[in-house]
Chain A
Amino acid sequence: MAEIVGALGVPHTPMFPMLVAREGPDSPTGRLFAEVRRHLEELRPDVLVIFDSDHLNTFFFDNLPTFAVGVTDRTWGPNDAPPGMERRDVPVHHDAAERLHAGLVDAGVDAAHSQRFSVDHSIMVPVHFLTPSLDVPIVPVFINGVAPPLPLARRCHALGQAVRAAVESWPAGLNVAVVASGSFSLEVGGPRIPDTAIAGVPDPDWAGTVTKHLTEGTVPALVDAATPQRLAQAGNVGGELLNWLALLGAIGDRRPVFCEPQAEHGHAYAAWRWDQ
């Protein structure tokens, strides 16, 4: 039986690769990603299921899915020209992706799927830091977190539960790690940005509330609190929290073994594992 062996949550700020290249691996951001990567490497997964909110780069308003699974053997990114990132091909675990999509639909989660797509920085920044040699194939699970109406928090949590059920139904002995990509409070280019930057954190208190629930494992309370209105207050990409709720659905109400809250930046770094 395949199983989920751990989970990791990270932000995906597009400047981070350039920042860490400039400031070095011992910079605060470099050390945080390194800590998450250490957990990933010790978990030795065969595949990463990445819950991700594309920023209207992979998908657009001509055909915008609420949920979608990338079903192919290879994708590429970043497709959105973040600074200092070269285009790279990324392996996708085709068999796992196909099984996952079918399993979701069988469970009543009617996810779309795409067999030809590229990915933006929200996949490539986590991959850049967590699997820099691209030796672990991914399965992207896209959740609309940026173009309202967003899916409800409880639906995203249920999506994660369905992912776990699907994984556990696979005959192959694959070890799966799940990844959540994104922030809890962030405004990019919208009216609540600060005076001096193109992005800011309009609701650091909410980011603090989210990380408190994460740390304490109070998942049902977090799902209840993450109303559409609350996510909208958190910024125009505040819906990226939905990726984390899907992760929590996939692993259950566990407490992380590592969680570094950064409420002032609107995000956190976290790892869950149960092999120790």
Chain B
Amino acid sequence: MSRYEVNRFLHDLSVDETARAAAQRDPADALRAYDLDDEERALLLDGQVGQLHQRGVHSFLLHHLQRFGVGGMTLETYVQRIRHETGDS
């Protein structure tokens, strides 16, 4: 798992307006700019923040998914998944 590329995507959500808008518009297309494997891509697209955190992705960076509503991520879903670390909600 390339934690670096996952973290880089999340970092870009925070600091790069163009990358953020692209991710909000079409997450799957936006992720093509990152060197992710199939599992990473699936976890990001499914908003599995608990599982991503378990795999070493930085938790502060993960919250940008919720902050910018990427993939429709809601606070309720984010809290459920990050607190229980399972990804099931």
Contact = CB atoms under 8 A, between A and B. Distances in A.
A185 to B, nearest CB: 15
B67 A191 contact: no
A236 B53 CA distance: 12
Q: Main SS of chain B's interface residues?
A: helix
Interface string B13-46: 0110100100000000000000000000000000
A65 to B, nearest CB: 16
Given A191-B83, A193-B83, A198 B58 contact: no
A80 B14 contact: yes
Contacts of A198: 63, 66-67, 75, 78-79
Interface residues on B, range: 20 to 34
A198 B68 CA distance: 12
Interface in A39-75: 55-57, 60-62
Interface in B41-73: 50, 53, 58-63, 66-67
Nearest to A148: B58
A34 interface: no
B82 A189 contact: yes
B63 A61 contact: no
Residue in B15, B20, B62, B75 with the greatest tally of chain A CB atoms within 10 Å? B15
A188 interface: yes
A147 interface: yes
Contacts of A236: 59-60
A190 B82 contact: yes
Contacts of B17: 81
B62 to A, nearest CB: 5
Contacts of A197: 75, 79
A191 B82 contact: yes
Contact of A189 (B4, B15, B62): B62
Contacts of B61: 56, 189
A60 B66 contact: no
B14 A81 contact: yes
A57 B79 contact: no
Interface in A164-211: 187-198
A237 interface: yes
B60 A57 contact: no
A146 interface: yes
**CB-CB nearest 7 A-B residue pairs:** A189-B63, A190-B59, A80-B14, A236-B59, A189-B59, A60-B11, A79-B15
Interface of A: 55-57, 60-62, 79-81, 118, 146-147, 187-198, 236-237
16 contacts: A55-B14, A57-B14, A60-B7, A61-B8, A79-B15, A81-B17, A146-B60, A187-B59, A189-B59, A189-B62, A189-B63, A190-B82, A198-B63, A198-B75, A236-B59, A236-B60
Interface of B: 4, 7-8, 11, 14-15, 17, 20, 50, 53, 58-63, 66-67, 75, 78-79, 82-83, 85
